[in-house]
Amino acid sequence: MPPTTTRIGSGAGFAGDRIDPAVALARHGGLDDLVLECLAERTIALGQRRRLAAPDTGYDPRLEQRLTALLPDLVAGGVRLITNMGAANPAAAGLIVREHLDRLGSTAPVAVVTGDDVLDRIDPDARAAEDGRPLRAHGELVSAHAYLGADALSSALDTGAAVVVTGRVADPSLFLAPLADRLGWDLADPAYAAAGTLAGHLLECAGQLTGGYAADPGRFDVPDLARLGFPYADVGADGSARYGKLAGTGGRLDRHTVREQLLYEVTDPTGYRTPDVLLDLREVRVDDDGPDRVRVTGARGWPRPDELKVSVGYRAGHRLEAGISYVGPNASARARLAADVIADRVRGLATDPRIEVRGGETDARLRVAARDHDTGVLDTLAHEVEALYTNGPAGGGGVRAHVDEVIGVLSTLVRRDAVTPRVTLLGADRASRRADDDR
């Protein structure tokens, strides 16, 4: 029989998140599952750009660092790991996970979920949700990843894998899938899908739920923010959930932090759209349940949509950031004069740079920023900043200039039946098999 409750923890809320709170959860949290949500829209587009330059890359750059820190405790405790750190190359990430498990002597399989890459299936003339213009009108398309749902992970979890690695999966779905697997929920039932999606939505940003995004000194004080603890949830078979954090960790978990996260990125609380369900938050109830413990109930759901959201990356030109510093008496006035000189020198250039002065009277910095498809224009602008060294005002120094490519992000929709998730299983002998997930 399925258990009546299961405990799931959040070990990351974005690619740059801290690692030590996740280690604490893995070691002391009594978890059944740990989820690392590390993939934003721009993150996967940048991963695709890296993969275009080097085919064996494209996964999260911190993958090995997190695995080294977490896997020993996860394997020792029998805690399952689910993560989207595969980014634009889940297959390569899966091989790295396999190598780490081999070194630990674990024969448990690794499941890799693919199928979210739909660049060859989207219509370049499809309209972008942001402005209604055709996708192709924004620039060369370099990536297109559909937001897979919890059903895409079900086959992977059925294999008994110790680690499940994905690319683009909707954030709450990373939590809903293991919850449904542990508790025996039918993902086609909107009530269960809504309960698990709500839990996933609250946990997906890790430290945001425990006060990291709410801290505002003097208005909303969060204790020991330097040692912020990450949250976990005890989820019942009936869909109710109690949220907590480890004793002795920093942060706070109460009705305020939960309600703030509840509405984070939710454009329509009557029907928050995910691949698994339309989540209705209007009857959600949030109750304090002890120190740093909160009980949440009342999620309602409507059947899942027939279309999946797609995050599309495109080449949006290049960006320049350049600057020069001035220190000592009258530094601010000299920096403002430098700004006037730059504005005069670049008048007529085919770009409209942002020119600003930051700092105080005795320590000021001129910052110049611009974006353009023509790197020659940006190089000219950077040269003008550099030339201030000896062309005045007096005492300029610390010139820095950097040009990099900008990957823009748009969204559109694709029919669910155009997306075919697949699961590849990597055993200790490196043998693999592929199973289509036709749900």
**Which domains, ranges and CATH numbers included, belong to the chain?**
5-118+146-311+416-436 (no CATH), 312-411 (3.30.70.100)
Return the SS3 of 311: strand
Confidence tier at 430 by pLDDT (50, 70, 90):
low
Q: Which residue has the tokens 């209604």?
A: 132
Judge whether 235 and 295 are in contact, CB under 8 Å: no
Residue found by looking up tokens 């010139």 in the block: 399
How does residue 44 score in pLDDT terms, banded at 50, 70 and 90?
Answer: confident
DSSP state of 138: G
Residue 157 has pLDDT above 70, yes or no: yes
Query: Per-residue pLDDT for 433 more than 70?
Result: no
pLDDT beyond 50 at 421:
yes
How do residues 88-124 score in pLDDT, each as one tens digit? 999 999 999 999 999 999 999 999 999 999 999 999 9
Per-residue pLDDT tens digits for 16-37:
999 999 999 999 999 999 999 9
Q: Which amino acid is at 214?
A: A
pLDDT of residue 45: 80
Is residue 83 pLDDT above 60, yes or no? yes
Which residue type sits at 412?
A: T
More confident residue, 85 or 45: 85
With 0-12 / 13-18 / 19 or more C-beta atoms within 10 angstroms meaning exposed / middle / buried, residue 134 is middle
Are 198 and 300 in contact, with CB atoms under 8 Å apart?
no
DSSP string, 197-210: HHHHHHHTTGGGTT
**If pLDDT is split at 50, 70 and 90, which confidence band does 199 have?**
very high
pLDDT of residue 211 exceeding 50, the answer is yes
Query: In b/e form, how buried is each residue of 12-35, taking b as 16+ CB within 10 angstroms?
Result: bbebebbbebbbbbbbebebbbbb
What the block records as the tokens of 209 is 């739920």
Burial class (CB in 10 A: 0-12, 13-18, 19+), 398: exposed
Taking each helix axis from N to C end, the angle separating 375-386 and 331-345, rounded to the nearest 10 degrees, works out to 140
